[in-house]
Amino acid sequence: MLESLKEEVFQANLELKRQNVVIYTWGNVSGITEDRKYMVIKPSGIAYEKMKAEDMVVVELETGKVADGKWNPSSDTETHLVLYRHFPSLCGVVHTHSTYAVSFAQAGKAIKALGTTHADYFYGDIPCTRALREEEVKEAYERNTGNVIVECIEELKLDPLAVPGIIVKNHGPFAYGNSPAKAVENAVVLEKAAEMAFRTLLLNPNASMEQYILDKHYFRKHGKNAYYGQKSQ
């Protein structure tokens, strides 16, 4: 069932390992079918070195029930489902515990847009959600993690493809995109942007970037007037 998407999600998960943003069994990538009826996600607790495409788990988007697979899906499955249900533009979701992004999450601080590397991928600060309340942790924790992400995105009136990542306070980063591969790319860049911001703020706690620089670098790669790269790509 959904062998092509399983392979796509499998390769995306391996890319997290190749890019050194996960260790052991940390992290997960998911993808969704074109009809948005099924999500494919990494199995829970299976080492990347032992994992195969056939190990990916198919989950019904509406019910959260496993439709195909011999393993339990990722423990973060409910978070992924919430994001897909709320944002139809998302076709891939990634969660990691990458070092610098988690550092910002533990500090409860947004990753500020301080330079053009950040601006090439994220149109503004990468926000940090509020902390989950005690009752939200005790009951339906993973679902409520998704809910606070949605809450934050909607309160800030963000386009999740224009700012394709967020950090959950005390937890870590989630990234998303129009495919599993793009979501992984955004997750890797989010971690690098967090590292650059961390180092920048050590040198200059008052560092900032002008809006016109953010605009130039983001829109030269995104939107109808973008001119970065080759037209044939």
Active-site residue list: 120, 228
Q: Residue with structure tokens 């050590």?
A: 202
Q: Report the C-alpha gap between 164 and 68 in whole angstroms.
A: 29
Q: Work out the angle at residue 89's Cα, subtended by the Cα atoms of residues 96 and 193, and round it to the nearest 5 degrees.
A: 40
DSSP class per residue in 185-217: HHHHHHHHHHHHHHHHHHH-TT----HHHHHHH
As a whole number of Å, the end-to-end CA separation of the chain is 30
CB 193 within 8 A of CB 118: yes
